[in-house]
Structure 1
Amino acid sequence: MRFFLYILFFIYAYCEISFFIKVADSIGVFLALICIIATSFIGFSLVKTQGLKNFSIMRQKMANHQSLKDEVIKNFALLFAGFFLLIPGFLTDILGAILLIPYMQEFLVKLIVKKMPIKSTLVSSTSINQSEEIIEGEFRRKNDE
């Protein structure tokens, strides 16, 4: 297994370096480096805005006692997109940008939800309190002297 991971890493590094060399040949090394840095900044800002939007949708669904499985899968897609955008290189930036596309996220949600059924239940504090008897009262503390 470890040998397979080494081979996979070297194949990835070879593809990434060869793609960078081809891009650098056509637009120049300095401009290629600027493009890699710019895609990282732009990608992280997109991940941040989509993540905050997804977080607000999750809060609304929790308030309405709806299932959160779609938003959780979208959050994982955003997490992987941010990870791929963090790694320098054009191929990983392209993969991270693909994961940022909302239609691609919807496709992943449908694919994952269809493959493995996820059952979720939401337990709120109001449902727990309604089933138990509530006793109201007052108390005072006595200081130990």
Structure 2
Amino acid sequence: MFPLILFLFIAVPIIEIGLFIQVGGYLGLWPTIGLVLITAFVGASLVRSQGLQTLLTVQQRLQAGELPAQQILEGVLLAVAGVLLLTPGFMTDFMGMFVLLPGPRAMLARKLMAKVVIQGNVQQPFGTGEPHDRQSHRGNTYEGEYDRKDDDDDHDKLN
């Protein structure tokens, strides 16, 4: 995982600089800067509206007694899209706009959810560790009664 992150931290800025040079050479300095600022503002407003719509869908599913797992994951993807859109650059803006579109975002969320392994009734995220099976954690249950005592009862304290 570390080599992939290192590669991305090196490759993405190099690609973005190359795209800035190409677009700047074609459009000029100020139109290129304006285009980057416009995509950042438009992207931020789109992320806000899509995020509110996703939040409403989550609330509706919760009120219906359903688990809104896909919508929650889409909300996380919207946050990623927001970061990509606010990062200066044309490639990150394209990736952010792609994730921002409802169709590709839902498809990506479904693919990520397919990586969740379901064992019994308990979900194990991304296949890490041992399966969490309720049967393996089953213990003995004892029935009993208890009385709540106030802290003012001095005769029951161990001092």
* Alignment TM class, shorter chain as reference: 0.7 to 0.9
Q: Report the Cα offset of residue 117 of structure 1.
A: 3.8
Alignment match, 2:76: 76
Alignment match, 1:26: 26
Aligned counterparts of 1:114 and 1:8: Cα–Cα separation in 2: 25
Alignment match, 1:56: 56
**Is 1:14 matched with 2:14?**
yes
- TM-score, normalization: structure 2? 0.69
Note the alpha carbon deviations across 1:21-65, whole angstroms, 9 max, x for none: 001111111101000000000000000000011111111111111
- Count of matched residue pairs: 120
Structure with greater proportional helix content: 1
Aligned counterparts of 2:47 and 2:86: Cα–Cα separation in 1: 11
Match for 1:109: what amino acid? A
Match for 1:12: what amino acid? V
- Say which SS state the counterpart of residue 25 (structure 1) adopts: helix
Moved runs in structure 1, 4+ residues, more than 3 A?
1-8, 117-120
Alignment match, 1:89: 89
Q: Report the Cα offset of residue 89 of structure 1.
A: 0.8
- TM-score, normalization: structure 1? 0.75
Q: Report the Cα offset of residue 109 of structure 1.
A: 1.8
Question: C-alpha root-mean-square deviation of aligned residues, in Å?
Answer: 2.0
Query: Which consecutive unaligned segments of at least 5 residues does structure 2 have?
Result: 124-159
Alignment match, 2:100: 100
- Give % identity: 29
Match for 1:31: what amino acid? P
